[in-house]
Chains A and B, each alone.
Chain A
Amino acid sequence: MHQQNHGIQVISDKSQILEYLELAQPNLKLESSSLIKGRLVFAMREVERGYELLNPSIHYDDPRIIQDEYFISIEWNIINKPYPVVKEDGNRICDSFKWLSKKVTWISHLRDLHLYEEDNSLCLCTNTEYEIRYPDGIKINELVEELIIPFFYYQSYLQRNLKEPYSGRGHGVLGILEYLEENRQIPQLDRITFEILQREYPQIFNSIRVKKPSSSRTCICGSNRKGKKCHWSATRGAKLLYEYIQDANPS
């Protein structure tokens, strides 16, 4: 699916990584030049305009603060892997799947918990988001604070409350289109979404290209429901993409 020539890797050097880990995540250890392993400890809460990471070594009574820890590994510069590969080594997510799938209706596959079944690696965010936010590569603190901790916040919240703190992205192209709709103010996002869809999701790309998506027609996810009642923001994203294609190439 992916070629090696595109992708985002960790750009912090060894001393920057060591300094950051010592300050922020002393239980994570740099094992080799591109492998970090150990215990991720965090305390996070959502605030009005974003979120806040708190000192995890203090105990908080506030139920809105999710405080937890996971054994993880982070590896990058792996051939054929365009993004850092993060895994949860303690198997908590896999274990939680067994009982969550009985209690929560929308969880029926491990992938619904945003885990790749082949190697249990985590899907932290859409690839368009990677490309938009970290075009020149990602720093270790950005990776930990902006992708990994929010991922585990989501998981821990889900386990405690049997519901998501915010809905995760739809699978595959749905998530990419949702991201497009939510971030329509970013000018280069249209082009990046266009390229990624053309390359990785050619079938859906073609169907969007030839027929203007509409939220009154059946949803692009293939369900029998109307787009506006099913994947509303993905449908809106598809419309934006259609318009971009038309503008770029009216023929």
Chain B
Amino acid sequence: MIWELPEETVTNNIRKSISLKVSPDELDVKNILESLAKRLREEYEKFGVKVNVLSETHSVTIEFLNSSHEFTIDVVPAVPITEKNEFGLPLYIVPEIIKDSHRVRKDKYSSKEPIIWIKTDPEGYIEEASKANEENQSFRKSVKFLKGWRRKSKEGEDNFKLKSFHIEQYVLHFLRENHQKNTWEVVTTFFDEVEQIISSPQIPDRANDTIFIDAYISELTEEETRLILTNAQLATNLLNKIEQAQSESEVKEYLQEISLIQKTNKNTIYPITKDHAPTKPWYSGDFR
């Protein structure tokens, strides 16, 4: 669903420029978020989906309650600006200092500093990812596998801080320079290079090259860094075992040990095959 800001909440200042600091008085973020939350509550109610919608300081959080696995989604209000990316898609500004670690963010929000609107390019990231996958199918496969490793590493472990978006961007940049690499090569290189990957921020934001999407790693504690390295080493050891493995089941076992691949639905009713052509839609009126 695309929801546009009510006209009255957009001040001229935001339209004029994106580098300006908008004080909360000029653009009432709170109002925007509350009306967004209200609208979301109404829309989900229409569909009979049970949700809890919370208006936070810089976004709206939707908690989905009645599905089999509970989850939350953060909705960030974004204002399109005239500037476009190389794909001709508009950039946006958002009221969020998203590139900082949670800790830094928390400090900034509580200090009552004026909110800085920053440029972002969400559509560019999506376009780039789908282009990357068109070029080389290992993009999606390796990202999926590495994210599964991240999920596994996070199981019962709050100190595992590597971000999923960071992994995706690493793979994207790696494949841009190494077009022909397959999933195995991407994954093994990732684990080999992980120490270097988390040594300093190095992936600039698409919309603003003075900030880095991996800026959060400079905030990692020693313990958090060590945890990433240890888990990567364990994965490398298991990958080495795979190379020596004798059977398919052995390979599967090791892979499952490294990465938490989402369980496939146990739904056994599918596939259902129908031996007649699909029914064609009709309209009963018009020719009487």
Contact = CB atoms under 8 A, between A and B. Distances in A.
Nearest to A202: B288
Contacts of A37: 48
A106 interface: no
Which has the most chain A C-beta neighbours within 10 Å: B264, B265, B272? B272
Contacts of B284: 1, 123, 126-127, 171-172, 200
Interface stretch (B180-188, B211-219, B274-282): B274-282
A23 B268 CA distance: 8
Nearest to A112: B283
B275 A49 contact: yes
A111 B275 contact: no
A135 interface: no
Nearest to A72: B47
Nearest to B43: A90
B280 A125 contact: yes
A129 interface: yes
Contact of B264 (A53, A58, A129): A58
B269 to A, nearest CB: 5
A208 to B, nearest CB: 12
B47 A154 contact: no
B287 A170 contact: yes
A122 interface: yes
B287 A150 contact: no
B137 to A, nearest CB: 8
B278 A166 contact: yes
A153 interface: yes
B210 interface: no
Contacts of B48: 29, 31, 37-38
A167 interface: yes
Interface residues of A, number: 65
A145 interface: yes
Contact of B68 (A26, A38, A173): A26
Given A55-B265, A58-B265, A122 B278 contact: no
Given A89-B47, A201-B288, A55 B283 contact: no
Nearest to A47: B273
B136 to A, nearest CB: 13
B285 interface: yes
Interface string A95-137: 0000000000000000110111000001111110100000000
A125 B288 contact: no
A89 B48 CA distance: 11
B278 A150 contact: yes
A165 B279 CA distance: 12
B281 A154 contact: yes
A169 B270 contact: no
B270 A167 contact: no
Contacts of B269: 23-24
A56 to B, nearest CB: 8
A146 B287 contact: no
A147 interface: yes
Contact of A90 (B47, B267, B281): B47
A50 B277 contact: yes
B271 interface: yes
Which has the most chain A C-beta neighbours within 10 Å: B269, B277, B287? B287
B125 to A, nearest CB: 19
B138 to A, nearest CB: 12
B285 A111 contact: yes
A150 B278 CA distance: 6
Contacts of A76: none
A43 B267 CA distance: 13
Contacts of B67: 27
Nearest to A147: B279
A244 interface: no
Interface string B2-23: 0000000000000000000000
Interface of B: 46-48, 67-68, 137, 264-265, 267, 269-288
Interface of A: 1, 23-24, 26-27, 29, 31, 37-39, 43-44, 46-47, 49-58, 61, 71, 89-90, 111-112, 114-116, 122-127, 129, 145-147, 150-151, 153-154, 165-175, 200-201, 203-204, 220-222
29 contacts: A24-B269, A46-B278, A50-B273, A50-B276, A50-B277, A51-B273, A51-B277, A53-B270, A53-B273, A55-B265, A55-B270, A57-B267, A89-B47, A114-B282, A116-B283, A123-B284, A124-B282, A127-B284, A150-B278, A153-B278, A167-B280, A168-B281, A168-B282, A171-B284, A172-B284, A172-B286, A172-B287, A175-B283, A220-B287
